[in-house]
Amino acid sequence: MSQALTKSPKHCGNKHGLNICKLYKNLFLLFSTFGTTILSIILVVWLILRPTKPEFSLKEADIYQLNLFSSYLLNSSVQLTLLSKNPNQKVGIYYDELQVYAAYKGQQITVYTSLPPFYQGHEDSNILTASLVGIGLPVGPSFGYEMGRDQTAGRLVLNLKVIGRLRWKVGVWVSGKYRVNVDCLAVMAFGPAVPTGPLTTRQGTQCSTNV
């Protein structure tokens, strides 16, 4: 027993030291228990509230212009309406810096259009509209050929994309920024005859969302 005492670390060696040592041990135990409890509470709260990614669906898309000239330059004009929904009961969403553009055959055919930032409350929905244009945008050499093939087939598939950042809001706490990527498909009739009005699709299809 006495041998074990002399072998213990210096600061725990004498009789006074032993008490201090015990105090440190108890304090350490107290703080580590406290810390573990706090961490567990945060984990449980996060697991309960864990935000579900927002939902987007395409309500309407209209192509007013899709005009290839000088073989590889494109004028385009697209109008779209999206429905955005926050499926969370206890988490709000701040949308910052949302930008929309259209792509066709894997190529961007309009420039980015910014949407005004907004806050979406618990289980709220918002209608988002955007006018997208491209003036003299360069496209790849196969673009005209592919567009001709779609015209023969009688339909085209347009990608409408939203990129940006969002923040989650839980009570008064607001998270850091997370990237969000939305991709919507619009399928439209696209005949060889010059259309009298815009190419239009009205559908409620779900878009794919990544956060």
Tell me which residues touch ligand NAG (CB under 6 A).
67, 69, 75, 135-136
Nearer to ligand NAG, 151 or 175 (CB): 151
Q: List CB contacts of 209: < 8 A, sequence separation 6 or more.
A: 53, 54, 55, 56, 180, 181, 182
**33 to each of 24, 37, 40, 43, how far by Cα in Å?**
14, 6, 10, 15
Nearer to ligand NAG, 87 or 148 (CB): 148
**Please, what's the largest Cα pairwise distance for the chain?**
103
Nearer to ligand NAG, 9 or 136 (CB): 136
Closest approach, Cβ 64 to ligand NAG, in A, equals 12
Nearer to ligand NAG, 78 or 98 (CB): 78
Closest approach, Cβ 164 to ligand NAG, in A, equals 27
Closest approach, Cβ 134 to ligand NAG, in A, equals 9
Burial class of 94 by CB neighbour count within 10 A (0 to 12, 13 to 18, 19+): middle
Closest approach, Cβ 105 to ligand NAG, in A, equals 19
